[in-house]
Amino acid sequence: MIAALQRLFGFCRHPAMYREHRELDGRLVMHFVCPCGFARPVIERTAEEYAQLDRRVRPAGARRV
pTM above 0.85, yes or no: no
- pLDDT at residue 21, rounded to an integer: 92
Q: CA nearest 30: which of 38, 18, 22, 46?
A: 22
Quick check: is 50 in a domain? yes
- pLDDT at residue 20, rounded to an integer: 92
Domain count, the chain: 1
- pLDDT at residue 57, rounded to an integer: 62
Q: CA nearest 21: which of 52, 48, 43?
A: 43
Quick check: is 28 in a domain? yes
- pLDDT at residue 18, rounded to an integer: 87
* Residue ranges in the chain modelled with pLDDT below 50: none
Query: 48 is in which domain, residue-wise?
Result: 2-56
- pLDDT at residue 61, rounded to an integer: 67
Quick check: is 63 in a domain? no
Quick check: is 29 in a domain? yes
Quick check: is 23 in a domain? yes
